[in-house]
Chain A
Amino acid sequence: MGKLKFAIYWGAACGGCDVAVVDTHEKLLDIAAAADILFWPVALDFKYRDVEEMADKSIDVCLFSGAVRNSENEHIAKLLRQKSKVMVALGACAQLGGIPGLANEKRRQDILDFVYHGSPSTASQKGVYPQEITSVPEGKLKLPKFYDAVMTLDQVVEVDYYLPGCPPESARILEVVQAIVTGNLPPKGAVVGALDKALCDSCPRKREEKKVKVFYRPQEILFDPERCFLEQGLICLGPATRGGCSDPPRCIRSNMPCEGCYGPPPDVTDQGAKMLSAVSSIIDSQDPGQIEKIIDGIVDPLGTFYRFGLPASALRKKRFP
C-alpha cells in the first residue's frame, strides 16, 4: 500500500486547528512518514490550481477546518470534497460554525458597514466597500461573495467525520490520523476524537447539590476551585458538551468553566437549548419575581449557550423581520 494522501485546508478560521496539527510536534513526522500532504496552505506551497488538476477522489483524507463564510470557502470545500475520499470537519468552526458563527446574530450589511465604515479605527474617507468584482485598467479583480450567514461545513458538503474542539486537542488529532492510517474508522457521520459522555464525566470537581440562587459573572466572585462551577452559579457548559478535550478537561484544569467548544453530546442536536434547559432547571426559587431576577443574571444567553454552535443550532441565525 502506498502512502496516504492528505489535504489540510482552512475556511473561515483562525488557523488554530492547523497549529493544533503542528502541535503534534515530532509525531508530525510520523504522519509525514505515513502520508503525503498534497495541500496545506499554511505550511506548503500548493495552490488551488494544483488541487483542481488532481483526479477526483485522489486525496484520501481532507481535514477541513473553518466555517463557510463566503463563496470561496464554499467553492474550495466543494472542490476538496470532489477530490477527497474522506472529508473530516476539523474543529469547532467546521463542525458547528465556531466563533465566526457568532456573526449570525448580525446582519450582513451591518457587519460591512461597521468594519469598512463605522468602526472608530476605520479610516475610509471615500467609504470604500469591498466589491465582488473590481475593474482595474488591467482587467477585473474578483473577491469572494460575503454570505448572509456563516454555515457549517456539512451545510455545504457531505462530511464523513467530525473532529471537534476549538481547537481540537493535538493528541486527539493524532489518534484520529492513526485510526485513518490503520483503516480503523468508525461508521460514517461519527464524531471522532471525542467521547460520547459529556465533559462532566471527566471533570474532577466535586458535585454536591445543583441549586443556584444567583448566577455570577466570573469577575464577580472568588470561586472554590474544587467545586462544580455550576453549583457556584458560574455557567459552565460541561453538562451539554462532549468530553474528550483532555483529562482533566483543559478549561476546567485552568480554573475556567467549559464554554462548549466540543459541541453537543451524541443525543443532542441543539446544544444551546439543552444547556439553557439545564441551567434554568437548577434555579432555586419558586418566586416568579425572583426567578426573573436570577435569570437576568445571565446577561448574554445566546453568546453563552451558542458561543460555538450558532450556525449548527436549529435556528442557525438571528431573524430580522
Chain B
Amino acid sequence: MKTISIDPITRLEGHGKIEIFLNDQGNVENAYFQVPELRGFEVFCLGRPVEILPRIVPRICGV
C-alpha cells in the first residue's frame, strides 16, 4: 500500500498534516487529516482576570 504524506499542509494558518493511503490500484483507500498542534488556550485563560483576555485570545490566530 502506498502512502502520500502531505506534511505540513501549507498556505493556510495553522499546522496540519494529511496522510493518504492508496490501494493497489492507486486509488485513495483512506485519507486522514491530522492536527498536530495544541496550545491549550481554553485552559490557561481559565482563572485569568477578564481584562487580560482580550490581550491573550488574539494570539489564538494572528492571520
Contact = CB atoms under 8 A, between A and B. Distances in A.
Nearest to B3: A139
Contact of A130 (B7, B19, B21, B38): B38
Interface in B6-31: 6-15, 19, 21, 29-30
A255 to B, nearest CB: 14
A70 interface: yes
Interface residues of B, number: 39
B59 A99 contact: yes
Contacts of B48: 300, 303
B60 A14 contact: yes
Interface residues of A, number: 54
Interface of A: 10, 12-19, 41-49, 69-70, 72, 98-100, 102-103, 105-106, 110-112, 114-115, 119, 130, 136-139, 141, 143-144, 146, 166-167, 217-219, 259, 299-300, 303-304, 307
Given A49-B7, A102-B44, 13 more contacts: A12-B39, A14-B59, A14-B60, A19-B62, A48-B7, A70-B37, A72-B36, A103-B43, A119-B42, A138-B3, A139-B1, A139-B3, A303-B52
Interface of B: 1, 3, 6-15, 19, 21, 29-30, 32, 34, 36-40, 42-44, 46, 48-49, 51-52, 55-56, 58-63
